[in-house]
Every structure is written in C-alpha cells, then in structure tokens.
Amino acid sequence: MSSIDTELANTIRADIIDGTFEHGARITEARLCDSHNVSRTPVRLALRRLEQEGMIRKGDGRGYVVEEITVDGIRQAVMVRGHLESLAARLMAQSEKQAQDLDRMALAIERIEALIDQGSLDDDTLKNMHAENFAFHNTILKGCGNSYVKFTCDQISHLPMLASGSMVFDRDSIDGKTDIDKTILRLKIGNSQHRIIYKAIEQGDPVRAEGMMREHSNTMIEYIEVFEQRKNKLTVRDLVSYSVQGNPRIEDIEEKAAS
C-alpha cells in the first residue's frame, strides 16, 4: 500500500481511462475530497501528478478538465514507444552487452516459445507470456546503456497499452469464438522477431536490431487496426479489455528468472 496520493492518482487515472470521467469534465479538488473521504493535500498531489502525465489539464479559469483519450491517441503513443524501443535496440547492439542481459532475453524467448506450444491461451498462460514479453523488452530498455530511453518510455506508460512489453490479445479468439490459429500464428511471428532482435544485438548489428524492433513495434499498431476493421466503433475501453491486465512486478520476474 503506497501513500494516499499515489492511490488516488491511480484511481482517478483508471476512472478517466474507463470513461467514468468523460473528457472535458471539470474536476475540482473539493469534489474529490468528498467522494474519496480524504483531505485536500493528497488530492492536490494526485492532481498535479496527473497533470504532469497529461491525463488532465488546467482549465480556462479554475479547476482541471479531463483530457480525452482516444484510440488514435493510443496509437500515437504506441508509435512513440516503439520508436524509442528501436533506439534502445540499436544502442544495445552497438555497445558492450551484459551477458546476463542476453541470457535473460534468450530465456524469455524460450519461455514464450514453450507457452505458445501449449496451444491453449488461458488467462494464466497469457499472464506468464506477458511477464516474459515484459522481461524481454525491459531488458533491452535497461541494457541499452542510455538510461533516458527507459525513463522517457516510462513517462508515457500510464496510458493503457503502454506499459513495458504490453500485449494485446484477441479475446474473441481466446474464447473460441473465432479461430485461435491466427492468434497463435501472430504470437509465433512476434517471438521469431524476438529471436532476430536478440541475434542482431548479440552479433552487434545495430541496423538490423533497430529495423527489426521497429517492425516488431508495429505489431500492436497493426493489431489495433485489425480490431478497428472488425468493430465499427472501437473504443478505448474495448482496447483495454483486449489487453492483458495488471503489470507484472519486476521482483516476480526476477524471482522466476532465478528458478
């Protein structure tokens, strides 16, 4: 349990994302104090934090207004994140690598492979896959030698779908409504891209590493387009429901990696 203002910020952020606060709505400190039974001090801190994150913005006169989150905005943010990740891959390829980082990446690839080969995409499998995907991407961000890459990525990762190594899944295929093979194929292609990225980094090929990571990052953008083609009006809430919920704790990842 963190401090109240952090929890408050998380709550309000979640409310904005899932549409409880629709965009343009005025947010006042007093109202939040009343509804959450807290004093104004943590409310102030939470609002400031959300303002810096870009979730809310100071209104014309008084108070804050809720910034609109659109599918297109998420697509844009994903693009920025992908571009930063491609920088990380290039930098890591052309710098001296830590052996443990490479090992962790290889381990993630193998584990994802094993999870895909299970053939069933139950919730637990998805969570594990998400955790390994996170480990792969986060290792590159941390291991590229430029700490500002990860820092900058983290700055936009409070939006849905933007946490490190986030994955989007076609819930319909998982529920058996549409054929699961296409989703499996997608995952296999994604992991083969992981292999290429790993090889390029390990062999010190920055151009290939950057290019493959750029391609790999487009996966989610294309996935979003698939959803848009199927659903005539894709909402942010839809996207959130398609994504793997819950961020894996870094400690859990490392713990599992040690086993």
The site partner of 119 among a second copy, DNA, none (C-beta below 5 to 8 Å per kind) is: none
The site partner of 38 among DNA, a second copy, none (C-beta below 5 to 8 Å per kind) is: DNA
Question: Closest separation between CB of residue 113 and a second copy, Å?
Answer: 31
The site map against DNA for 185-224 (x = CB under 7 A) is ----------------------------------------
DSSP the chain: ---HHHHHHHHHHHHHHTTSS-TT-EE-HHHHHHHHT--HHHHHHHHHHHHHHTSEEE-SSSSEEEPP--HHHHHHHHHHHHHHHHHHHHHHHTSPPPHHHHHHHHHHHHHHHHHHHH----HHHHHHHHHHHHHHHHHHHHHTS-HHHHHHHHHTTTSTT-STT--B--HHHHTTSS-SHHHHHHHHHHHHHHHHHHHHHHHT-HHHHHHHHHHHHHHHHHHHHHHHHHSSS--HHHHHHHBPPSPPPHHHHHHHHH-
Nearer to DNA (CB atom), residue 48 or residue 214: 48
Instruction: Kindly compute the dihedral angle of the four CA atoms of residues 181, 197, 160, 126, in this order, to the nearest 10 degrees.
Output: 40
Question: Closest separation between CB of residue 29 and a second copy, Å?
Answer: 13
Question: Closest separation between CB of residue 210 and a second copy, Å?
Answer: 10
Contact indicator for 135, 252 with CB cutoff of 8 Å: no
| 165 scored as a contact of DNA (CB under 7 A) | no
Question: Closest separation between CB of residue 32 and DNA, Å?
Answer: 9
Query: Given the rule CB under 8 A, which residues bind a second copy?
Result: 41, 44-45, 48-49, 52, 54, 73, 76-77, 79-80, 83-84, 87, 91, 146-149, 151-152, 155-156
The site partner of 116 among DNA, a second copy, none (C-beta below 5 to 8 Å per kind) is: none
Question: Closest separation between CB of residue 152 and DNA, Å?
Answer: 24
| 228 scored as a contact of DNA (CB under 7 A) | no
How many other CB atoms sit within 10 Å of the CB of residue 126?
A: 18
- Contact region with DNA (CB under 7 A), list: 60-68, 154-162, 233-241, 245-253: 60-68
Copy the structure tokens of residue 55. 């979730």
Question: Closest separation between CB of residue 130 and a second copy, Å?
Answer: 23
| 44 scored as a contact of DNA (CB under 7 A) | yes
The site partner of 64 among DNA, a second copy, none (C-beta below 5 to 8 Å per kind) is: DNA
Copy the structure tokens of residue 94. 């052309």
Copy the structure tokens of residue 216. 């790999």
The site partner of 155 among a second copy, DNA, none (C-beta below 5 to 8 Å per kind) is: a second copy
Q: Which residues bind DNA (CB under 7 A)?
A: 3-5, 27-31, 38-42, 44-45, 60-64
